Amino acid sequence: MNIIAQKTSLLGSITVPGSKSHTIRALLLATMAEGTSHIKNPLPSADCLSTAAAVPLVGAEIDLSLSVEGEPGTEWIVSGAGKNIHLPEDVINVGNSGSLLYFLSSIAATFDGWSIFTGDESIRRRPVHHVVEALNQLGAICNTARPGVDGCPLIIHGPIKAGTVRTDGTVSSQYISGMMMAGTLLDGELHIELSAPTETPYLTMTQKWLEKVGVKCSISDDYKHITVQGPVTINAFETTIPSDWEAVAFPLVAALIAPDSNIVIEHIDGSGTQGDDAIVDVLRSVGGNIVWDKTAETITVKTSRLTTENLPNKELHVAMSPFPDAICALAVAACFIEGTTILEDAAVCRRKETDRLSALASELKKIGAEVEEGKDYLKIFGHSPLLADGSANPDFKIHGATVESYLDHRIAMSMACAGLGLKANERITVKDAECCNVSFPHFFEVMNNIGANFAEPN
């Protein structure tokens, strides 16, 4: 499916789906629990549905409360495997979900026997050598099925044992979270020593989830030392999944750059467990008109002239390793910011659904952006559509084009949002845009409810 985006104004209220990161953690911990857990406001995205399809293979039962039309409901019920959790009964196909791959592979490694993990074309390109090395330190026999290829299929023979594992943590935080959850099944303390931890807010999220279900878990202030005490009997729980900050980023940026826009994003998570909420302060620093009412759980966003003029050296520097999934939205915003934006410490972004640094550099150049791609950064020389006096900026050169999504949901959504800030009679066509369903089901319909006017070509 191709989607056309062009200049428009956004008005009204919007609610984004529940958090993918929270939903997947809730599903896996409910699977490990004794009894029946109730998960409200789950994200019914492709990644979460891949998780729901996988957990019965290790002993859980799940009721998605399907509608007559087959749509997942707003409360999912998981009958946990508890002490009967077992080796996967079949190959685990994670679809497009890196979270599921990296989380469940460590859990599967606690069992005696072979587990096999694979996924779609994108997943089979994502690195797994760090998982192999870490699990082998704990006693697994772990390798990739294709000699010399750092990607799935991933084959694992357990069981791993409690002890100490040393790894750098630079590739991703997800396999660290997976080992933390696996630690609840081990007899003794699991110590994880990280030399260069990244995506640290997600490690905190996992810690809070483990503590919520009664697990003793500690993380040092520098995130280099993690301890999980096992074994633990996890009891069933009831939880409501908070809104997904990774999804909030797209209407947030869209409203800032689409002319004459004024929107309210509702049910905002103010718990601090999602690192992507840092995007608010980043965009405020360049003049974004954003009001976050934590009591009302709302964010109000209005069209703004964005500029780096009040920042040191008139440059916006954003370290991306704590919240790398925001790079797509921020890269698009940077095209509309007067001044230089440097999205740095971003090497982890090359190991997502696609190499996002390369993909963003390529596609943003197609729409007229001036972009410099480095080993671990993107430097974007942007211009506001408006001068300080409100008149049109002759240096603003962003224009329409046909762009690739690379089957990457965040690239598809960000490039579609870029189209909303174009000049009149310009349009961006995003190819293979249906991949948005991975993290934001019905993204285009939801955005159209506030005036985005996304449409398929005639």
The set of catalytic residues is 325
What distance in Å separates the CA atoms of residue 42 and residue 27, rounded to the nearest whole number? 9
Q: Which two tokens stand for residue 215?
A: 């697990």
Helices 20-32 + 174-182 axis angle, to 10: 20
HSE value, Cβ hemisphere, 13 Å, CA-based, for 22: 26
Query: Residue 248, Cα to own-chain centre: how many angstroms?
Result: 11
Contact 142, 134 (CB under 8 A): no
The rounded radius of gyration (Å) of the Cα atoms in the chain is 22
| Strand order through the sheet with 141-144 | 92-93, 113-118, 154-158, 141-144
Distances (CA, A) of 455 to 46, 91, 390, 444: 22, 38, 30, 8
Distances (CA, A) of 5 to 270, 327, 366, 407: 31, 20, 15, 17
3-class secondary-structure state, position 210: helix
Cα(175)–Cα(183) distance, integer angstroms: 12
For residues 262 and 302, is the Cβ–Cβ distance under 8 A?
A: yes
Return the biggest CA–CA distance within the chain. Answer: 69
The Cβ-side half-sphere exposure at 297, using a 13 Å CA radius, reads 14
State the DSSP string of 176-202: HHHHHHHGGGSSEEEEEEESS--SHHH
Sign of CA dihedral 165, 167, 171, 172: positive
